[in-house]
Chains A and B, each alone.
Chain A
């Protein structure tokens, strides 16, 4: 059997999710022995045009050029996995979806006519078929390795879509909402981070996006009870997965 090829691509994003791959310090050289890294700009100047067995895509679609690029990547990739909140939900830059992008451009750039952007920031799955979406801002190192290993072995990744609450219980963290009245998005947020915020005494801020069937309608009164007004709740839901939480609020 030939050595499988791995490619890593980036759209609009911060680089953090592909850096997570380089942060696998203990596994990186072993992984590099199992796959041929055919395209990974951040790590190597040796590039091959594909086709690729597995493509990892970081970042959201925000320009006409990237909308075209992601279709080309799809055409050259047997499996395409999107990694991170930008690629799976549009990222923090999807806050433009709730505003006037022309006004945004004028606010940042003196010559808005030089800037060619779409009015919205959208997940890759809005443009092409995606085999798996790995959540997180940033993605978790262990989950990223699980996804890569699973596709190399030809099986489905074992990434449960339950909430952060499950992870707090497993970690033995006392509930910050029950014990301290701290507002927390844990009950509606996709697990995967290891419930790191409550372990540090703060409420979850939703950086992995909505869990499977989140009950936002039940949670919002609790956020009010714990001192948040409507504006604060809206801000809490409108960060790195703003578009995904917004879809849940409307559903």
Chain B
């Protein structure tokens, strides 16, 4: 039987992503007429109920947007409100924030590489199935994830929704000695991270190329995580930057009927945030160890193949472990755990690099510090358009090359989506796939 006619495919729920949603594809012959990522995560109205809250509250409240990257929310919220109040946080508090963020990068990337993404490359339904034949590899992934969580637990109090972050710094900062147990763990993690690069570099990568503009933070001194300037690398190779307070002049959100997330465009074009964009824009700022990992992974500069994003995640784990060890080695406790952030009326902007891409917050405060307006632009909402374009290309390429069954197309779409590590809880949740072949 041929599958080449017009058809409609419906895939129930997309697995191994963070959140729930569905994909709707309308296929006519060899052409995809429509690809919609349908985010059906129920709206939770954070931007509405943040109005009227005290300026000290958004870091704890917005952490609850996403259980996978709460630190990203806490950091973008702190940066934005500190900006509104005209306060800057200097070292060593800034270093401790970066250390906490490294913990989240290690945990989130290890989760994605081993539990969500690797089963696709190795032909399994889950990491639990994978563990039946490659238990040592899965155990390594879990150990790496645990090392990230150890950083979060020590510095943040707990791994999910850490309690120790506050405006201006922390509630309590560790003494030098307290960080020591992390060192041994992170040294082991450095070895595990290196082996992870070896594992993923042996995966078989289909050909694919994205034509969206890349969007990431750029920093003159380091690979950007908790600090940097928004930078664009367009598909034709042109580079530009703009200040954080101009973010919403460039990134425009629009609502589409099939999604409770808001889609966005960057200066009118599709854009992509996340590991591929970060590496293309700031790869030259990686540490020497991480640059060795780039060679080991045979990762090409400016890589645009979404399947190969797993290589960038593996390199970023090497980097985050390396950074964490560097920060701990240089750490001298500050005199105070936080700087004061007295309220003042005004608007503040904050942007940081969540593991899956750039996360922007804006708050407007009145004289008492009450939030009068809030705006959150999560990475997956920004990426949704580029993911849909990527799906169209992946399906059309497969239709041009052969005669895929509905099941094969579904599998292909799920893989294409997982390449982008979407966090649907953030953008609003993931996938039922429906493919209409008309």
Contacts and interface: CB of A to CB of B under 8 A. Distances in A.
A108 B157 contact: no
B61 A200 contact: no
Contacts of B61: 92, 239
Contact of A193 (B44, B48, B158, B166): B158
A73 B61 CA distance: 29
B37 to A, nearest CB: 15
A151 to B, nearest CB: 19
B287 interface: no
A46 B170 CA distance: 42
B54 interface: yes
Max chain A CB contacts within 10 Å: which of B51, B129, B160?
Answer: B160
Contact of A62 (B44, B46, B64, B158): B44
Interface string A129-140: 000000001100
A197 interface: yes
A104 B13 CA distance: 28
A101 B45 CA distance: 9
A240 to B, nearest CB: 6
B60 A239 contact: yes
Contacts of A159: none
B49 interface: yes
Contact of B160 (A23, A32, A91): A23
Interface residues of B, number: 70
B260 A42 contact: no
Contact of B44 (A93, A103, A137): A93
B131 A107 contact: no
A29 B135 contact: yes
Contacts of A95: 45, 49
B16 A44 contact: yes
Contacts of B46: 92
A12 B44 contact: yes
A11 interface: yes
A96 B60 contact: no
Interface in A71-98: 91-93, 95-96
Contact of A235 (B54, B158, B161): B54
Interface string A187-229: 0000001001101111001010000000000000000000000
Nearest to A138: B160
A173 B304 CA distance: 52
B42 A197 contact: no
Interface in A24-42: 25-26, 28-29, 32, 37, 40-42
Contacts of B48: 96, 99, 103-105, 107-108
A205 B60 contact: yes
Nearest to A92: B64
Contacts of B171: 197, 200-202
B128 A108 contact: no
A179 interface: no
Given A22-B111, A41-B20, A108 B67 contact: no
Contacts of B138: 29
Contacts of A125: none
B73 to A, nearest CB: 10
B372 to A, nearest CB: 12
Given A12-B41, A16-B160, A20-B160, A107 B51 contact: yes
B139 interface: yes
Contacts of B142: 25-26, 28-29
A91 B40 CA distance: 18
Contacts of B270: none
B43 A10 contact: no
B250 to A, nearest CB: 18
A197 B414 CA distance: 40
A117 interface: yes
B115 interface: yes
Contacts of B337: 201
B128 A109 contact: no
Nearest to B12: A47
B64 A235 contact: no
Contacts of A45: 15-16, 119, 125-126, 414
B149 interface: yes
B159 A114 contact: no
B53 interface: yes
Nearest to A242: B49
Given A25-B149, A26-B146, 14 more contacts: A15-B19, A15-B66, A15-B425, A19-B68, A25-B145, A40-B126, A41-B20, A45-B414, A47-B12, A92-B49, A93-B45, A105-B45, A137-B161, A200-B157
Interface of B: 12-20, 40-49, 51, 53-54, 57, 60-61, 64-68, 70, 111, 115-116, 119, 125-129, 131, 135, 138-139, 142-143, 145-146, 149, 157-161, 163-164, 166, 170-172, 254-255, 257, 260, 262, 337, 414, 423, 425, 429
Interface of A: 10-20, 22-23, 25-26, 28-29, 32, 37, 40-47, 62-63, 65-66, 91-93, 95-96, 99, 101, 103-105, 107-111, 114-115, 117, 137-138, 193, 196-197, 199-202, 205, 207, 232, 235, 239-240
6 contacts: A22-B145, A32-B128, A42-B116, A104-B49, A110-B255, A137-B161
